A and B are shown apart, each in its own frame.
Chain A
Amino acid sequence: MKHIRQLEDQSVYILREAYKNFDNLAMLWSMGKDSTVLLWLARKAFFGHVPFPLLHVDTSYKIPEMIEYRDRLAREWRLNLVVGQNKKALAEGMNHEKGRIACCTALKTEGLKLLLAEKGYTGVILGVRSDEDATRAKERYFSPRDKNNEWDFRDQPPELWDQYKITFPPGTHIRIHPLLDWTEINIWEYIKLENIPFLDNLYLDQGTGQRYRSLGCAPCTSPIQSTAKNVDEVLIELRNSHVAERAGRAQDEGRGMEQLRKDGYM
């Protein structure tokens, strides 16, 4: 498992750089497998502690098991959990039937922006990976966002060796991506190696011949046909699969992700 330990060392280095250089730092946690691995890596980096708040942007449409799991780990691992929600948009009845991109923008992008603005975070750690989506393949480990949270992918700063962008103008912030080099398979390999608790009743087949490969909001995430009942079987399935991981995520269709991410989506 040497390659997994290499990935771990790199991610731990990035997390420690973030902790050292950002006064107001937070980590996004969606309870999915990636951001949970990220959370685990933080515990590795800081010897069992998580010295910054974990943000959950709650769209209110999450699968109920996710919320139960969130609260349980927060208790057991003594996490500083901060939950944000775009209450105004929800009060006005926002849901996916008003358009998936509109819903994602309002409840996730705007929900995140509101939370960032309220708390004034200057560094936000996210579990996005290069192999998830073509725009994420072009991300930096430390990626600046302007005053409107926008990503200027036409003019990204150079990123040389292990020297990251840690200085930035007031009012802007940096998105930090420690998992950029991990693949979906690497995530599962690490979950197995470290025995990380994950949402097994969603990610594994419970006898219905279905499991979730990627978790999002209930209305816009569909399970895949799969009989994988443990992590080993998930790994075997993935190594033989040619279907994209986020194929079950509705907002990715067309140019959805490019537009969403330019405007500040994760």
Chain B
Amino acid sequence: MTTETTSQERMNIVIVGHVDHGKSTLLGRLYADTGTLPEGKIEKIQAICRQQGKEFEYAFLFDAFLEEQQQGITIDTARTFFTWGNRQYIIIDAPGHKEFLKNMVSGAARAEAALLIIDALEGVRDQSKRHGLLLSMLGVKQVTVIVNKMDLVNYREDTFQAIEKEYRQFLTQLNVIPQYIIPASAKQGVNITKVSPETPWYTGPSVLESLAHFHLEAARNEKALRFPLQDVYKFDARRILVGRITAGQLKIGDRLVFSPTNKSACVRSIEAFNIDSPPTQATAGQSVGITLDEQIFVERGHIATHEDARPLVSTRIRANLFWLGNRPLETRRTYTLRLATREVPCEIVAIHRIVDATNLDDRHTQSTVLRNEVADITLRTKAPLAFDLYANFETTGRFVLVDHYDVAGGGIITELVPDDQEDFRTEARERDSAWVKGDVGAEDRAERYGHRAAVILLTGPDTTAKGFLARKLETVLVAEGRHAYLLAAENLQRGLDADLHDTRPEEMVRRFGEVARLLTDTGSLVITTTNAFQQATKDIVQTVQTLVNPTPVITIHMTKDQAGPQPDVDLIFAGPEDFDACTHQIVETLKLKGILAELSGSQPAFQFSI
């Protein structure tokens, strides 16, 4: 093959299907018949086969591991390359054995199109269906079905039609329309590189020809912008926000809003290395770096968008999930959820149904999802998550769950489930986007004051001296020159809350949260306790957090009970006696979290920068 022009397109294609239906053989045949194999490769494998006294199979060309050849199966996905027409293909040969489903999924997750193989003699089997279902969940929408081993059924049209009908029906339920269904024999080379006389009744393309009919993913540039932040660099005194644009485009001057914090600023520059003229815009798929016109708090995991098309935010989502972990997925256990670059602890609150891949019926609901099962679930994240529905945005609409050290499952988001913070979140978002800013930013205040703003909230039962510790902390911080203020909720009751007459506890917390928001905007450290509120501590913390977001809320729990289960907070003091030591510990915690600089004054040095 002589092509002196460079190939301009790349496409990833995965070959899937039930074990032994001939995936590796098809791949081997495709390469052999297009002359894509390295010189001597077939001869080398043939020699090994003669030596071991077995018949040569095309599958041996890519089943590289000794064990794979001995057992005659593919264990792990192989990636192979070939160029045909004006396209460079990466063909991913996925294992069909149920045991290796996680490898099949790893292969298919990279693909833009799939060849799904069905054995003409065996017909549609378990993995033919399971792979079909997983392809639809992994976002592989282009599928061509190959009915292989037609030589074993004497190339009979009726056998082919029966399989075609059955499988087409199955795919319809998944909203997948196959591009082609091709009768073929990989072993005999029938309908692989060209349509062969053995199937005179077939009028479609050969397998090779069908590849050209797969479309490259249409540019996602037309969609709304999604730019999940990967990292923030401080090279050469520039603060560069890096990440990969997953949808839409951005250009210099655009105002970006970061979710879930609602912080916003404009793009000042797009940074690049070894480029003559720096770019003025960037589009979906690109790994870029940008600088902003304002120093705002942003970090890995935040999603930048334009103001009029933000992602959804909630702590609850409904999703379709496939589970690959060795341990079953269970409700009430903590997993790490990773969505784009965001990482947040979560737990499964409900398993609505298990989808049986072989007939798409539901299995009885239970409290676990076993390995290789697909389930419809609702999960709750520990902190608010910015996301999209998978139907609207692929990359920000899907996630993985990490169990122990491994990625153990993947999911696509089908629904936002409103949580009880929904109204407060909307309030905070609308308030923040209409906020009238002065010329002094949060970073300017932090430089000057030697600390960033924060809310320090002391929780715990009565009679644990929360108020005492709060006062002590205020005294110590102010003595160090920090801007700290003890905001006792009682002080709102006869003033701001006078109209409530102590009858609306939720509204009291809301107003308190808004006052705290104002004070933190001045750059202050707001110290308070849960003493005066009538709500459950968990609700108070959540509401305050939502309203002051993204200012950190540091929770400190005080208790007399030294054993027993403790809440998930930043610090716990069980039956403290030495309040000076407690105060010192709080100060150290604030330094570790990058809230307090080592010293206040003209040259504040933060141990950890945000």
Residues of chain A at the chain B interface (Cβ within 8 Å)? 1-3, 5-10, 12-13, 16-17, 19-20, 43-49, 130-131, 134-135, 137-138, 140, 153-154, 156-163, 165, 167-169, 180-181, 183, 189, 194, 235-236, 239-240, 242-244, 247, 255, 258
**CB within 8 Å for A16 and B62 given contacts A47-B236, A156-B76:** no
- The reply to whether A9 and B285 contact each other, CB–CB distance below 8 Å, is yes
**CB within 8 Å for A158 and B406 given contacts A3-B88, A44-B273, A44-B274:** yes
- The reply to whether A47 and B109 contact each other, CB–CB distance below 8 Å, is no
The interface residues of chain B lying within 8 Å CB-to-CB of A163 are 338, 400, 407, 410
7 tightest CB-CB pairs across the interface, nearest first? A134-B64, A244-B38, A12-B287, A158-B102, A3-B10, A130-B79, A137-B78
- The reply to whether B410 and A160 contact each other, CB–CB distance below 8 Å, is yes
13 contacts between A and B (CB under 8 A): A44-B274, A130-B80, A130-B81, A131-B80, A135-B65, A137-B78, A137-B80, A138-B77, A138-B79, A157-B407, A162-B340, A236-B4, A242-B35
- The reply to whether B273 and A242 contact each other, CB–CB distance below 8 Å, is no
A49 to B242, CA, bound (A): 14
- Among A12, A19, A240, which residue has the most Cβ atoms of chain B within 10 A? A12
A138 to B81, CA, bound (A): 13
Interface string of B231-252 (1 = CB under 8 A from A): 1010110101010100000000
Interface string of B82-117 (1 = CB under 8 A from A): 000000101000000000001101100100000000
**CB within 8 Å for A16 and B230 given contacts A156-B103, A160-B105, A183-B88:** yes
The interface residues of chain B lying within 8 Å CB-to-CB of A255 are 66
**CB within 8 Å for A161 and B81 given contacts A9-B287, A19-B231, A47-B273:** no
- The reply to whether A20 and B338 contact each other, CB–CB distance below 8 Å, is no
The interface residues of chain A lying within 8 Å CB-to-CB of B65 are 135, 138, 153, 258
Minimum CB–CB distance from B404 to chain A (whole Å) comes to 8
The interface residues of chain A lying within 8 Å CB-to-CB of B407 are 157-160, 163, 165
The interface residues of chain B lying within 8 Å CB-to-CB of A130 are 79-81, 90
- The reply to whether A47 and B289 contact each other, CB–CB distance below 8 Å, is yes
A180 to B235, CA, bound (A): 28
**CB within 8 Å for A159 and B109 given contacts A46-B235, A47-B273:** yes
- The reply to whether A157 and B76 contact each other, CB–CB distance below 8 Å, is no
Interface string of B1-35 (1 = CB under 8 A from A): 11110111110000000000000000000000001
> What size tier do the contact residues of chain B reach?
35 or more
A194 to B8, CA, bound (A): 17
Minimum CB–CB distance from B109 to chain A (whole Å) comes to 5
Instruction: Name the one of B79, B106, B289 contacting A160, with C-beta atoms under 8 angstroms.
Output: B106
Q: A153-B75, A157-B406, A162-B395 are in contact. List 15 more A-B contacts (CB 8 A).
A: A2-B9, A13-B287, A45-B242, A137-B79, A138-B65, A154-B75, A156-B103, A158-B106, A160-B105, A163-B338, A167-B402, A168-B405, A181-B90, A235-B6, A242-B35
Whether, in the assembled complex, B490 has its beta carbon less than 8 Å from a beta carbon of chain A, the answer is no
**CB within 8 Å for A49 and B80 given contacts A135-B64, A158-B324:** no
- Among A2, A10, A189, which residue has the most Cβ atoms of chain B within 10 A? A2
Whether, in the assembled complex, B398 has its beta carbon less than 8 Å from a beta carbon of chain A, the answer is yes
A12 to B8, CA, bound (A): 20
Whether, in the assembled complex, B37 has its beta carbon less than 8 Å from a beta carbon of chain A, the answer is yes
Chain A residue with Cβ nearest B103 = A156
Chain B residue with Cβ nearest A168 = B405
The interface residues of chain A lying within 8 Å CB-to-CB of B510 are none
Whether, in the assembled complex, B67 has its beta carbon less than 8 Å from a beta carbon of chain A, the answer is yes
- The reply to whether B287 and A45 contact each other, CB–CB distance below 8 Å, is yes
Chain A residue with Cβ nearest B404 = A167
Whether, in the assembled complex, B271 has its beta carbon less than 8 Å from a beta carbon of chain A, the answer is yes
- Among B6, B35, B244, B273, which residue has the most Cβ atoms of chain A within 10 A? B273
Chain A residue with Cβ nearest B11 = A3
The interface residues of chain A lying within 8 Å CB-to-CB of B340 are 162
The interface residues of chain A lying within 8 Å CB-to-CB of B338 are 163
A17 to B272, CA, bound (A): 18
State which residues 468-519 of B face A: CB under 8 Å: none
**CB within 8 Å for A20 and B64 given contacts A3-B10, A159-B109:** no
A12 to B273, CA, bound (A): 12
**CB within 8 Å for A194 and B274 given contacts A17-B230, A167-B405, A258-B65:** yes
The interface residues of chain A lying within 8 Å CB-to-CB of B9 are 2-3
Whether, in the assembled complex, B361 has its beta carbon less than 8 Å from a beta carbon of chain A, the answer is no
Chain A residue with Cβ nearest B242 = A16
- The reply to whether B286 and A20 contact each other, CB–CB distance below 8 Å, is no
- The reply to whether A158 and B105 contact each other, CB–CB distance below 8 Å, is yes
Minimum CB–CB distance from A24 to chain B (whole Å) comes to 17
Chain B residue with Cβ nearest A1 = B6
- The reply to whether B39 and A243 contact each other, CB–CB distance below 8 Å, is yes
Minimum CB–CB distance from A188 to chain B (whole Å) comes to 10
Chain A residue with Cβ nearest B67 = A154
The interface residues of chain A lying within 8 Å CB-to-CB of B235 are 46-49
The interface residues of chain B lying within 8 Å CB-to-CB of A134 are 62, 64, 78
A239 to B66, CA, bound (A): 30
Minimum CB–CB distance from B342 to chain A (whole Å) comes to 11
The interface residues of chain A lying within 8 Å CB-to-CB of B109 are 159-161
Chain A residue with Cβ nearest B338 = A163
- Among A12, A19, A131, A163, which residue has the most Cβ atoms of chain B within 10 A? A163
